[in-house]
Chain A
Amino acid sequence: MEKNINRRDFIKFSGMTGAVLALGFYLPAKGKELLVGNLATQELELSPFILIETSGKITLINPRPDMGQGTFHSIPLLIAEELEVDIDKIEIRPSDGNPKYGAQLSGGSGSVAASWLPMRKAGAAAKEMLIKAAAKKWQVAESECYAKEGKVFNKKNNSSLSYGELVEEAAKLEVPKEPKLKEKKDFKYLGKKSMRVDIPSKVNGTAIFGMDIKVPNMVYAAIEHCPAIWGKVANIDERRARDVKGVKDVVKIKRPVFMKSPECVAVIADNTYAAFQGKKALRITWESAEAEKFNSADYFKKMREMAKTEGNPHENEGDVKAALSKASKTITAEYETPFASHAPMEPEACVVHVKEDSCEIWAPVQSPDTSAFGVGGQVAMAIGMKPEQIKINVVFMGGAFGRKAFYDFVVEAALLSKQVKAPVKVVWTREDDITQGPFRPAMLNAFKGGLDAKGNVTAFQHTIIGGSIQNQWGGMANGKKVDDWAVEAVDKENSPYEIPNFRLDYLHAEPSVPLLWWRSVYSSTNGFAQESFVDELAHAAKKDPMEFRISLLEKAPRFKKVLELLKEKSNWTEKLPKGKAKGVAIVRSFGTICAHVVTVAQKDKEIILEKVVTVIDCGMTVSPDNVKAQTESNIVYGLTAAVKDGITFVNGKAEQSNYNNYKMIRINETPKMEIHIMDNDEKPSGVGEPGLPPLAPALANAIFALTGKRLRTLPFKLEV
C-alpha cells in the first residue's frame, strides 16, 4: 500500500489548485477506530472525504457505490449534516477504488450503518476547524461563533465568513479528536425528507450506466457461455458468425467463476447488434458431460433424504430431543426454496481498456476495490498486472442485488481487451444473465416443533440444508461442519423467540452450479421457512398468529414493539368479510427488524394480494423516504421470488432464460404498500434487504388463513 497520499497526488485526483482543507480518515497504529486527519498537517495515509477549496467549492467523496439503494445520496448527507452545508451545493464524487478510501463495498445492507459515526465525525471536525479559524480572525471566542449554510457567523455583529475564505487558516489547524456531534433534535437533513441528488439524471436519460459507456476506438463483445455453465470448447464453427456484417473477430476466453474457469467464446464487432447476431451464428461443440449430470429435481430429492438424518448443530439450547418426546403435540414440516437469479434490469455490461502498462475500467460494480477480492484485484490478476496499474471508474448500476459484487464480466472484458488490443465493451444478453448465474442457493429447511397441553412451544428443531456460498472459496475446508453464513436471520440473536429447547442445525449439500449473495441471501430462504413454521405452531396451539408471536417476544422489546405497532397499523383485529384474510411475519436481518401484514382476497379461483402494511425498525434514519422506497422495492422483489419463477436445471442447463419464462411482478400485480418506520434513537442499520425476508411468509400465512392450505414450496401460485 502506498505510504502517504501527498498533496500532489491529491490535487491530481481532485483537480484542484490553491489552498484546500482536506480531511479524511486514518487508522492509528494501535487503534481500531478510524480517526479524522488533516492532509495539510499530518504525515498520514489518509482517505480524503471532504475537500473545501478557497473558491468555496465543497466536494464530498462517496465510497459506497450506488445500485439504486441511494448511497450516492445518503453517505454524503451524513457529512453535510454536521458540516452545515446544503447537500445541493456540494459536488459528490464516487471514490476510485484507491485503498486510501477504506471499505468501498455496497453490500450486506451495511453502508449507512458503518458510515453513520465516522462520516458525521469528519463533517463535525471540519466544521469545528472552520469555526476556530473564524474565531481567530475575529479575535473572539469560538463560542461566539456558529456555522450555518456554508458560512461561519459572528454572534455579536452577525458578520460572516464563507468556508472558502476560512480554508487557508483552517487547513493549518489540528483536527479535533472528539468533535461534538449534533443531537437528533437538531438534525436538518437526517431523518427528514430529502430529494435524492441522482434522480434528476435518471429522468432525462443522462445518467450513465455500465451499458452506456463509450470510449474512443471501442469494440463490442457478446459472449457465448456454455449452456451447462462448466464447459470446455471442443470445437467452434465460426464461419457464419464471421459472415455477419460488423463482426471483426471470434475469440476464446475463460470466464472466472470462483476457483474454476469455464471456457466461452466472444464475438467482437463494431456494434452491439452485430456482436449479438454473431453470437447467435456461432456453432460451438461443448465438452460439459460432467456438468450435465446436474438436475435440480434430483438435488431436492437428495436434500429430502438428508433431512431424515441428524444435522450439525450451530446452536443448541436445552434438550430438543427430550422435549419433543415429552410434547403433547409435535408437528414437522419441510420448506423448499429454489435457485434464484438476480436479474438486475441492466444486464452485465462494462468497458475495459488494457494498455501496455496500465488498465482502465468503467464498470457498474458494487465495489471499486483493488484488493484481491475487489474488481481491481481480480482484473489485475487475470491480465498479469499490479493493482496499482488499474484505474477504476465506477458508474451507476442498473440494479445489482448482489450480482454486481461478482466481477466475471469485467474480467472477461479485460481478457478480451488484452487480446484484441482495444477498449472492449462486454454486453451480456439477458439470457447470459439468467442462465449463467451465480444463483441464490436452493435450500431445504426442515422443522420439528413440540407443544405442551396448554399450547406452549417446548421444542424447536430447525435444520437448514443446502449449498454454501463461502465454500466456493474454500470456506468449508478443514472439516468445518456448519456454514455460519447460511444460518443467518434465524439464530437466537436474530430470532429471539423464547423457546426453552431450541436447536439450529446445518447440513451441507453441494450443488454444482455457482452460488452468490442474492438480495438478503439466506435470510430470504430461512425467513420464509421459519416464519411459516412459527405460524404452523400458532395454529397448532390454536392461538392468534400475531398474539402468539408477541407472547414469545416478551424479552425482546424491539421486536415486540414492532409487532404491536403493526397490529395497530394493519388493523389486525378487524373482522374481515368472507374471502379475505391476513397473515403476518417478522424477520430481523442485517440488524434491521421488519414485519409485514399481508391482506389477501379471493376472486373466483384467483388470490389477489390487496395490501401490505409494514413496520420497520432500522434505528435512526438518514432518509426516511429512502427507507420506504427500499422497503417497497423489497416487497416487490420478495413477491416476485414468492409467486413467479425459480431457476430449475435439467441436464445442467437452466430452464429459464429471459423475462418471458423468468417472470417479474408488474405494476398491475403490485399491492398497495404502507410503510411505517419505528421512531427511536437506536443505532442505524441497513434497509437495502431487510424488507424482503418477511414478505413470502406473511403472504403464505395469509393464504393459509384464507384457504387452510399451507404452502411450503416457493414459488407458489396465487390460486385457491
Chain B
Amino acid sequence: MAQYQLLINKKTYTVDVDMQMPLLWVIRDIIGMTGTKFGCGIAQCGACTVHLDGVAMKTCLLPVSAAVGKQITTIEGLGTDKMHPVQQAWIDEQVPQCGYCQSGQIMAATALLAKNPNPSDEEIDVAMQGNICRCGTYQRVRQAIHTAADLMKKETGGEGGKR
C-alpha cells in the first residue's frame, strides 16, 4: 500500500492503495465516481476511458502510480458549468442505448475534437475504434461527433461570434 495524490476533475484526492491498482478501480471503488466503467479489464473495449492531460486513456490496466502528477478528467468532470458540446450532440443525435459504453465514447470523442476540431469520417473511425459499443450505436457516434464539431465552432465564434 502506498499513498498517492491524484488530481481528478481539478480536485486533489489522497488515496492509500496497492500501487498496482489500476486507475479505473481507484476512481470507481476508492474515490467513488462510477461514471467510468469496467467492460473487459484488458484494454480492449474503452469503457474505462478518461483523459490524462487531455489525452484519452484506458485505465483498466493503468497502475495508479502512472497517473500521479497528471490532470485526470473523468466523465463527471466534463461540462460541469455548462454541458459540453459533445454531450449536447450525444443528446441531439440520441446516441446512447443502454448507455454503458457512452462515458468512454464521450471521453474519446472529446479528446479527438480537442486535437482535431473538424474530423472526417475516416479520422473518426481511427480515433474511435478502441471503443466497443455492444448496442451498436456507432453510426450515431459518428454523426454526433460531426454535430459536436459544429456546435464547438459556433461556441468559439466561428460563425460570427453568436455566443
Contact = CB atoms under 8 A, between A and B. Distances in A.
Interface of A: 67-70, 195-196, 198-209, 211-212, 214, 220, 245-246, 271-274, 276, 343-347, 396-401, 427, 429-430, 625, 629-630, 632-637, 640, 658-660, 664-668, 670, 672-673
A205 B39 contact: no
10 contacts: A68-B97, A195-B91, A195-B94, A205-B75, A343-B134, A344-B100, A430-B42, A630-B97, A632-B139, A636-B135
Interface string B130-144: 011111111111100
A211 B34 contact: yes
A214 B102 CA distance: 21
Contacts of B75: 204-205
A136 B56 CA distance: 63
Contacts of B132: 345, 659, 664, 666
Given A199-B96, A205-B103, A658-B44, A346 B39 contact: yes
Given A205-B75, A273-B18, A632-B140, A68 B98 contact: yes
B99 interface: yes
A171 B163 CA distance: 49
B37 interface: yes
Contacts of B47: 345
Given A204-B79, A273-B21, A670-B138, A199 B94 contact: yes
A205 B98 contact: no
A245 B1 contact: yes
B136 A670 contact: yes
A209 B97 CA distance: 13
Interface size band for B: 35 or more
A329 B30 CA distance: 70
B155 interface: no
Contacts, number: 186
B37 A637 contact: no
B98 A203 contact: no
B8 interface: no
B97 A673 contact: no
Interface in B24-67: 25, 28-30, 32-42, 44-45, 47
B37 A211 contact: yes
Contacts of A344: 98, 100, 134
B133 A203 contact: no
Enumerate the 6 nearest inter-chain pairs by beta-carbon distance, A residue then B residue, closest first. A205-B35, A636-B136, A398-B100, A68-B98, A202-B99, A68-B97
B41 A276 contact: yes
Contacts of B29: 220, 271-273
Contacts of A272: 25, 28-29, 38
Interface in B95-128: 95-103, 106, 124-126, 128
Contacts of B30: 271
Q: Decide if the interface of chain B is mainly helix, strand, loop or mixed.
A: loop
B152 interface: no
Contact of A345 (B25, B134, B140): B134
Nearest to B102: A202
B3 interface: no
A625 B128 CA distance: 24
Nearest to A397: B98
A365 to B, nearest CB: 13
Nearest to B136: A636
Contacts of A625: 94
Which residue among A203, A245, A635, A670 has the maximum number of chain B CB atoms within 10 Å of its CB? A203
A672 B40 CA distance: 27
Contacts of A209: 37, 99-100
Given A272-B25, A658-B44, A245 B18 contact: yes
B138 A636 contact: yes
Given A201-B99, A203-B96, A637-B136, 16 more contacts: A198-B96, A199-B94, A209-B37, A272-B25, A274-B18, A346-B98, A398-B98, A430-B39, A633-B136, A640-B136, A660-B42, A665-B138, A666-B132, A666-B138, A667-B133, A670-B142
B139 A346 contact: no
B145 to A, nearest CB: 10
Given A345-B98, A396-B98, A629-B97, A659 B137 contact: no
Contacts of A635: 136
Contacts of B1: 245
Nearest to A639: B136
Contact of B99 (A246, A396, A668): A396
A346 B21 contact: no
A673 B139 contact: yes
**Which of B1, B83, B131, B137 has the most chain A CB atoms inside 10 A of its CB?**
B137
B7 interface: no
Contacts of B39: 345-347, 430, 659
Contacts of A634: 136
A338 B102 CA distance: 29
Contacts of A220: 29
Nearest to A634: B136
A196 B42 contact: no
A206 B41 CA distance: 22
Given A632-B137, A666-B129, A668-B125, A204 B41 contact: no
B151 interface: no
Contacts of A396: 98-99
Q: Which of B1, B35, B39 has the most C-beta atoms of chain A within 10 angstroms of its own C-beta?
A: B39
A674 B75 CA distance: 31
B29 to A, nearest CB: 4
A246 B133 CA distance: 32
Nearest to B79: A204
A196 B94 contact: yes
A214 B129 contact: no
Contacts of B41: 276, 429-430, 658
A399 B102 CA distance: 12
B139 A246 contact: no
Contacts of B99: 68, 198-199, 201-202, 207, 209, 396, 398
A434 B106 CA distance: 26
Given A70-B97, A203-B96, A625-B94, A633 B102 contact: no
B97 A69 contact: yes
B17 to A, nearest CB: 8
Contacts of B131: 666-667
Contacts of B44: 658-660
A245 B21 CA distance: 11
A70 B37 CA distance: 21
